[in-house]
Structures are given as structure tokens and as C-alpha cells.
């Protein structure tokens, strides 16, 4: 997406991202965490995307960057993507769903309810689920994960996957926890936008913070969850990544 400067002079300007995570499982096929923008968005942006949103974030709209094309480029058959797990249903996280129409789509129930009630809007685009996905929806449980309340296991997936409620950015926003060997990685979606927000002395990114503040539905809840993520990283050693920070993304590729 659009190129932004870092607040740290040692880091170069970089194009913001909206990345997905592909996970191989022994019995459940491939699992895609986030769907990004899809082939329809690239081919027909005027129809599928909100013009104001597109002008603000400047998506590159390159076919090769869609998740389905990247899965194939890695040597996998996209038909083996049997599950898609979403942090939320914002346009840049759900646009690729039509490229995997056979997959079960896992999302918090509150998020799907908000999307269906509010679409079409700047953030929710009904063309992204017009194909009738196989939804699997969830409510927060009474269980916790490293002190994070409401953790829920996912139907049809091993216990190496959890949805972790992280409301505030959207109604049913959640992180996706994936066990990575002996540890865990948490894809925190849009719970924060800039890596320095999780520093022990936090700092926001001036431009990305404007975007975050303009899209959040509950500032107090979002900030409380961001504090919990900071503790998760520093006190429990969980690897936490956000959806849009290009410098954080570069450390993991």
C-alpha cells in the first residue's frame, strides 16, 4: 500500500502491507490467516472497493500479490487451502475470500454480524462474501490464553490455532494465535499498526495513528488490548505481529 516513513531515522521509508500467514497442518490441509485483497479487487477496484478507502491507502492492486497467486507461487495447490481464519472483515482482510470459495471461514460472530448489518460501507464490502462462504463463527469463551480472556479453539482445526478476542478496532476484531513449535505466534491484525506501539516506552506512528483513530469503534477497549499485547510480548515471550507495519513484516520474511 502507500509508502510511509518510520519515526526511527535508522529505518527506510517503506510501503505499508496487509499480509497473510500460510500454515501447513498434518490433517487439516493448508490454513490461511487473513485473505488480503483478492483477484476481483484487483480486476474491478471501482466496483469492489470504496473509492475513499482506496485513495487513502493506495493499494498496489497487483495480481501476483493476491493470496491465491502467492499460494500457487509457493508450489501449493490453492484448492488445499481448506480453512481461512480472519482477524476481522475489513476490506483489506477479507477481499481474497472469493478466491477460496470452498474454504471454511472462521471469524468472531460479532464481526460477521456487524459486517452484514453495516455493509456496504468503507470498511465492509458485500462483494467479498457474495459467494456464500462456509462461515464458522465464535463467541468469546471463559478460557484464557497467557492472561488473554475469551480464547476460543477453532472447529475442524488442531489446538494449535486459537482466536483471541481483541476488540476495539472493529466490533469483533480478534487475534489469531498459531503454535509454532514450542512457542506461539499471534497475528494481531489491526489491534495496533506500528511496531513501536508495543515497545516498553510506546510510540505511535503519526500517519498510521490517524487511520487507526478514524476506523476504531471503541478507543478505550483497543488501547487496553494493545497494553495486553505489550505484556504478552515482554512478559510471556509470544511473538506478536500486526497486519500493516512493513518494518515488522520485514523482520519475519
Q: What's the average pLDDT block by block, 10 residues per block, for the chain (253 residues)?
A: 92 95 95 98 95 94 97 97 98 98 98 97 96 98 95 97 98 96 94 95 93 95 96 94 96 85
Q: How many CB atoms lie within 10 A of CB 124?
A: 23
Q: What pLDDT is attached to residue 182?
A: 84
Q: What pLDDT is attached to residue 8?
A: 87
Q: Are 236 and 146 contacting, i.e. CB atoms less than 8 angstroms apart?
A: yes
- Integer CA distances (angstroms), 140 to 6, 155, 219, in order: 35, 14, 20
Cα–Cα distance measured from residue 177 to residue 163, given in angstroms and rounded to the nearest whole number:
6
Angle (nearest 5°) at CA 172 between 16 and 195: 30
Specify the pairing of strand 152-153 against strand 161-165. Answer: antiparallel
Instruction: For residue 120, say if its preceding peptide bond is cis, omega within 30 degrees of 0.
Output: yes
Q: What pLDDT is attached to residue 252?
A: 86
Model confidence pTM above 0.85: yes
Amino acid at each position: 500500500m502507500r509508502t510511509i516513513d518510520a519515526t526511527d531515522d535508522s529505518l527506510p521509508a517503506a510501503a505499508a502491507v496487509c499480509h497473510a500467514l500460510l500454515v501447513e497442518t498434518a490433517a487439516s490441509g493448508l490454513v490461511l490467516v487473513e485473505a488480503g485483497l483478492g483477484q476481483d479487487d484487483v480486476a474491478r477496484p471501482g466496483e469492489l472497493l470504496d473509492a475513499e478507502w482506496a485513495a487513502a491507502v493506495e493499494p498496489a492492486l497487483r495480481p501476483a500479490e493476491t493470496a491465491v497467486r502467492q499460494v500457487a507461487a509457493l508450489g501449493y495447490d490453492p484448492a488445499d487451502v481448506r480453512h481461512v481464519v480472519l482477524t476481522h472483515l475489513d476490506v483489506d482482510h477479507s477481499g481474497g475470500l472469493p478466491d477460496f470459495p470452498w474454504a471454511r471461514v472462521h471469524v468472531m460472530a460479532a464481526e460477521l454480524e456487524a459486517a452484514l448489518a453495516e455493509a456496504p460501507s468503507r470498511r465492509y464490502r458485500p462483494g467479498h462474501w457474495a459467494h456464500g462462504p462456509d462461515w464458522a463463527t465464535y463467541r468469546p469463551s471463559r478460557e484464557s490464553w497467557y492472561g488473554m480472556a475469551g480464547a476460543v479453539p477453532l472447529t475442524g482445526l488442531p489446538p494449535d490455532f486459537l482466536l483471541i478476542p481483541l476488540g476495539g478496532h472493529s466490533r469483533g476484531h480478534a487475534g489469531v494465535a498459531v503454535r509454532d513449535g514450542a512457542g506461539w505466534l499471534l497475528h494481531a491484525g489491526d489491534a495496533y499498526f506500528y511496531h513501536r506501539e508495543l515497545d516498553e516506552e510506546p510510540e505511535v506512528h503519526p500517519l498510521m495513528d490517524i487511520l487507526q483513530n478514524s476506523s476504531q469503534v471503541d478507543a478505550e477497549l483497543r488501547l487496553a488490548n494493545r497494553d495486553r499485547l505489550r505484556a504478552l510480548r515482554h512478559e510471556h515471550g509470544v511473538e506478536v505481529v500486526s497486519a500493516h507495519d512493513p518494518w515488522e513484516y520485514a523482520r519475519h520474511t
